């Protein structure tokens, strides 16, 4: 389809040819999807979270289906920053050269671990267009509460990593107190926000009376959380002036359009990739068709255009 609408956007200094991104943890390291379509047609991909050192993740079962979504308790298994770059850097650098922005995600179980992850990723991933810091991880040094579960904690993490990279810094928020925490991240120097992460939930096998995951609870994603995510994107957009990457149950172009109208500059396709490997490409086509239907010349005209 030949576009008559400019789809290019700027996510806090990350220049994207269109607003469609992929959610961390649902798209592998992008090469796995090349057999389904040209991944470079997407505006960006966000890689699976990477720590400074390898993480083994949680025991199986890690994922189960529930009504209108999935529960996961993967535990952010990853090979560590250096091994990640060695294994996937050549492909991701080449993908970047083809016009798709590559965003790497830093994770940690403490502020110091986040610092080390950002520091290493800045060093070993020169091809990355930006670094996303996931502040939804449990802070093991502080009893397991979320790293960024309060405005004060969020500001501490962002302040600690901001000086470690000159790349655009995104912060991924948990689905709680998003307005307050968004403001704290902006004040600490975040260039953009990604929201929301999964919603804490649980599912019980009534025959065994045990969790359907290896742990009592997991993160709920998929269509079930989409209306929650749209509301939280809107709340964050009212609170800050930096751009927002909207995440949560985006499976169609209309889902993506809702996010943009609520105030998101970009959107990430997540769980939909797991049951439809061509989902992100299809969402892009549908989103572009919607923008044409709206009669605008530039997709940016529709950001935050929701009318109460």
Percent of the chain at pLDDT > 90 equals 94
Percent of the chain at pLDDT > 70 equals 97
Q: Do 16 and 266 touch, CB atoms closer than 8 A?
A: yes
Which region among 2-6, 8-12, 41-45, 173-177 has the lowest average model confidence (pLDDT)?
2-6
Q: Do 203 and 211 touch, CB atoms closer than 8 A?
A: yes
* Average pLDDT rounded to a whole number, residues 89-101: 98
- Give the model's pLDDT for residue 143: 57
Measure the CA–CA gap between 276 and 291, rounded to whole angstroms.
23
Left, alpha or beta for 13 (phi > 0: left; psi -120 to 50: alpha)?
left
Active site annotation includes 137:
yes
Is the pLDDT confidence value at 74 over 50?
yes
Residue identified by tokens 């966000």 is 46
Residue of 167, 57, 75 whose CA lies nearest to 122? 167
Beta bridge partners of 211: 204
* Average pLDDT rounded to a whole number, residues 32-57: 97
Residue of 216, 191, 6 whose CA lies nearest to 103? 191
* Average pLDDT rounded to a whole number, residues 201-230: 97
Is the pLDDT confidence value at 273 over 60?
yes
**pTM for the full model?**
0.96
Measure the CA–CA gap between 212 and 208, rounded to whole angstroms.
9
* Average pLDDT rounded to a whole number, residues 80-96: 98
Measure the CA–CA gap between 68 and 75, rounded to whole angstroms.
22
Measure the CA–CA gap between 132 and 152, rounded to whole angstroms.
19
Catalytic residue (one of 100, 137, 185, 308): 137
Secondary structure (DSSP) of 255-269:
HHHHHHHHT-SEEEE
Is the pLDDT confidence value at 162 over 70?
yes
* Average pLDDT rounded to a whole number, residues 126-140: 87
Is the pLDDT confidence value at 67 over 60?
yes
How far is CA 79 from each of CA 50, 52, 57, 117, rounded to the nearest angstrom? Answer: 7, 9, 10, 12
Measure the CA–CA gap between 102 and 1, rounded to whole angstroms.
24
* Predicted confidence band of residue 141 (pLDDT cuts 50, 70, 90): low
- Give the model's pLDDT for residue 142: 61
- Give the model's pLDDT for residue 137: 73
């Amino acid at each position: 389809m030949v576009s008559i609408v400019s789809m290019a956007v700027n996510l806090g200094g990350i220049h994207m040819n269109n607003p469609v991104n992929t959610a961390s943890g649902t798209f592998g390291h992008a090469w796995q999807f090349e057999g389904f379509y040209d991944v470079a047609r997407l505006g960006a991909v966000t890689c699976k979270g990477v720590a400074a050192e390898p993480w083994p993740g949680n025991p199986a079962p890690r994922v189960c289906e529930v009504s209108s979504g999935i529960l996961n308790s993967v535990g952010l298994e990853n090979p560590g920053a250096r091994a990640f770059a060695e294994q996937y850097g050549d492909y991701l650098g080449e993908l970047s050269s083809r016009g798709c922005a590559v965003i790497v995600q830093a994770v940690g179980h403490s502020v110091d671990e986040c610092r080390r992850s950002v520091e290493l990723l800045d060093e070993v991933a020169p091809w990355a267009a930006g670094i996303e810091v996931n502040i939804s991880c449990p802070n093991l040094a502080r009893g397991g509460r979320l790293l960024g579960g309060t405005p004060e904690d969020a500001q501490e993490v962002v302040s600690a990593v901001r000086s470690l990279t000159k790349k655009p810094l995104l912060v991924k928020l948990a689905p709680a107190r998003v307005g307050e925490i968004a403001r704290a991240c902006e004040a600490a120097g975040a260039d953009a926000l990604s929201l929301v992460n999964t919603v804490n939930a649980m599912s019980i096998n009534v025959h065994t009376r045990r969790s359907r995951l290896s742990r009592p609870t997991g993160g709920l994603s998929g269509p079930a959380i989409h209306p929650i995510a749209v509301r939280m994107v809107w709340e964050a957009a009212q609170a800050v002036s930096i751009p927002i990457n909207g995440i949560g149950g985006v499976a169609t172009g209309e889902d993506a359009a809702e996010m943009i109208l609520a105030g998101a500059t970009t959107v990430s396709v997540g769980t939909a990739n797991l049951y439809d490997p061509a989902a992100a490409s299809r969402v892009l086509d549908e989103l572009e068709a919607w923008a044409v239907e709206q009669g605008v010349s530039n997709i940016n005209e529709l950001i935050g255009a929701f009318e109460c």
